[in-house]
Amino acid sequence: MKKIFLYTATYLLLLLMGTSCAQDPEAWGKIVTDAKPGAYISGTATIYKEGSLASACALSKADLDTDSADISSIYTWLKKDGTFNIIQVGKDGKPVSYGKGDAVTNATATAGIETNKLTEAGTAFSVSNDGLYMVVVNNKDNQVSIVPVLFGIIGDATVGAWSTETTMGAPVYDSEQNYVTFTLKGATLDKKSVKFRYGGNWGIEIPSSEIATGTATIHTNMGLVAKTGNLTEAYSECKGGGENFSVDKKGTWDITIRLNLKTKVFSASGKCTGEDTSTAELPTTMFMIGDPYGWDWAKSHQMTPVNGIDGAFWAIQYVSATDGIKFCNEMKWGNDFGATSKDKLGIGEYESGGENIGFSAPGFYLFIVKTALSADKQSVVKKFVIAQPNVYLMGSLAPDATWATNSAANKFTIGDDKIFVSPAIATTGNGIRMYVSLSDYITTGWDWWRSEFNVYDGVITFRGNGGDQTAVAVTAGQKVKLNFTEGTGVIE
């Protein structure tokens, strides 16, 4: 096959003019005698004229997450009742047809992706089902990977959050408009964010000797080309590894992603068919997950509700300078949140984001999570606080018996053994009390007892949203010693 297809002046002119002829796959390229070096796809399995190379198969690196001069890819519709070959054109302009060679195995490559060596004049390739495929050509290693494309949606706006795709419908090929379209009708979306993804992950790994790891990464997620934007009825251009779509209404949606086979450009749209006007609800529980807990939900730390203040929680925990943590209202991934950046954080109040929270210095910190409904009451706005853990005795038995809040005379100190130690109790009696100060951060309706706790049978017991705790008898001269890491305490 000495004649091949190439983007020609005739094709470009037709494309710009948008004529009906340009919509015909058989007219996407013209037979010419010269061709640019590169890889092309040809055969009866393609949607192009049998026996010719399709000019629409100029390979793009837009979906690569790898810096490589020798890997190229193409999204294309393939038919199960035909075959195809890869045509390599060298610098001399001569085309060579390659077929299927030996299977390529690699322990770190993505499972289920078929990769084969390219063999000159080898058996033609074929697929088991009509559909959209990503064909990846590795020129250096002389191999090809064939990746089926079956889109779903993923994101915190979806029922599967960021862990599970919601499958879209089977792809539909429109031979008149030359689009491949995936549609999902009646999807339930929250007022958050969404992306498109296939293959069960953010990317696939294909064998590549050019890359030090032995594999090259190729995006399998599609997002906005623009930095920000809503999912709307008007189609928005997408790219591999693009930005999240924002969802501006909670409710039922019809969603579409489509590929223009002529331009190889993806675009997506969505229509809210039934808005949910019910209000969101503030969380009633909050958990800390991260390095101090082995990223194991079974070992996560449950925060204490701030008494009488909906959606507010606190905890005193120790972290190292290398630790990362996140928060979540459930003991599972999906609604978890952290910082807006990977920067190490110090004392302060922060907006929530998707990154792990890192720390500028090790030590004990008071963590506060504050949540509120958005202005339209459709979503929950989350903030978190990193503060000094100032713990105090309170009441008529304390050194300062005036019931003054945040009295220096009643303040605990932190020893080198990571134990919080109170000043000596001043008076023998029944009813010593203690609390952690939240007054700098929880100001509306704040009282010290909203973050009260005490020690019973060697265990720190937090008041939370409960009533007055049972009085604890003490003797003058005793001190309270608290181990917040273990959740234990003694009065001795």
How many other C-beta atoms can be found within 10 angstroms of the C-beta atom of residue 193?
21
Report residue 411 CA to chain centroid gap.
Answer: 42
The tally of domains found in the chain comes to 4
pLDDT in tens, 50-93: 544 454 444 444 455 555 557 878 889 999 999 999 888 777 77
- 135 and 12, same structural domain? yes
pLDDT, position 398: 97
The helix (run of H) or strand (run of E) holding residue 15 is helix 9-17
pLDDT, position 69: 58
Span 120-135, mean pLDDT? Answer: 93
Using CA atoms, how far apart are residues 327 and 357, in angstroms rounded to an integer?
9
Using CA atoms, how far apart are residues 433 and 422, in angstroms rounded to an integer?
11
Last residue of a domain, one of 363, 387, 411: 387
- 382 and 438, same structural domain? no
* Residue that wins the pLDDT comparison between 112 and 398: 398
CATH number at residue 465: 2.60.40.3610
- 80 and 124, same structural domain? yes
Sequence-distant (6+) residues with CB within 8 A of 71 are 61, 64, 136, 137, 138, 139, 140, 206, 208, 210, 216, 218
282 in a domain, yes or no? no
- 362 and 396, same structural domain? no
pLDDT, position 375: 87
Structure tokens at 397: 């038995």
Residue 454, helix vs strand vs coil = strand
**Where does the pLDDT of residue 7 fall: very low under 50, low under 70, confident under 90, or very high at 90 and above?**
very low
Backbone angles phi, psi at 17, to 5 degrees: -80, -20
- 258 and 311, same structural domain? no
pLDDT in tens, 206-242: 888 877 778 888 889 999 999 899 999 999 999 988 9
**Where does the pLDDT of residue 133 fall: very low under 50, low under 70, confident under 90, or very high at 90 and above?**
very high
pLDDT, position 130: 96
Structure tokens at 380: 């929950």
- 291 and 249, same structural domain? no
Q: Which residues of 282-320 are buried (b: 16+ CB within 10 A; e: fewer)?
A: bbeebbbbbebbeeeeeebbebbbbbebebbbbbbbebe
Nearest to 192 by CA among 223, 164, 154: 154
- 243 and 291, same structural domain? no
Q: For the chain, what is the total number of helices (H) and then of strands (E)?
A: 1, 41
pLDDT, position 379: 84
**Where does the pLDDT of residue 204 fall: very low under 50, low under 70, confident under 90, or very high at 90 and above?**
confident
pLDDT, position 15: 30
281 in a domain, yes or no? no
- 301 and 401, same structural domain? no
- 109 and 14, same structural domain? yes
Q: Is the pLDDT of residue 262 over 60?
A: yes
pLDDT in tens, 280-326: 899 999 999 999 999 999 999 999 999 989 999 999 999 999 999 99
Backbone angles phi, psi at 195, to 5 degrees: -135, 170
* Residue that wins the pLDDT comparison between 481 and 41: 481
Using CA atoms, how far apart are residues 462 and 314, in angstroms rounded to an integer?
10
pLDDT in tens, 403-419: 999 999 999 999 999 99
316 in a domain, yes or no? yes
Host domain of residue 303: 287-387
Using CA atoms, how far apart are residues 138 and 216, in angstroms rounded to an integer?
10
Q: Is the pLDDT of residue 366 over 80?
A: yes
Last residue of a domain, one of 358, 387, 416: 387
- 35 and 21, same structural domain? yes
Using CA atoms, how far apart are residues 441 and 370, in angstroms rounded to an integer?
9
Residue 19, helix vs strand vs coil = coil
Average pLDDT, the chain: 86
Do the Cβ atoms of 7 and 29 come closer than 8 Å?
yes
- 112 and 82, same structural domain? yes
pLDDT, position 378: 78
pTM of the model: 0.58
What percentage of residues in the chain have a pLDDT greater than 90?
63
CATH number at residue 321: 2.60.40.3620
Last residue of a domain, one of 275, 307, 342: 275
**Where does the pLDDT of residue 277 fall: very low under 50, low under 70, confident under 90, or very high at 90 and above?**
confident
pLDDT, position 110: 84
- 373 and 426, same structural domain? no
Structure tokens at 418: 């990571």
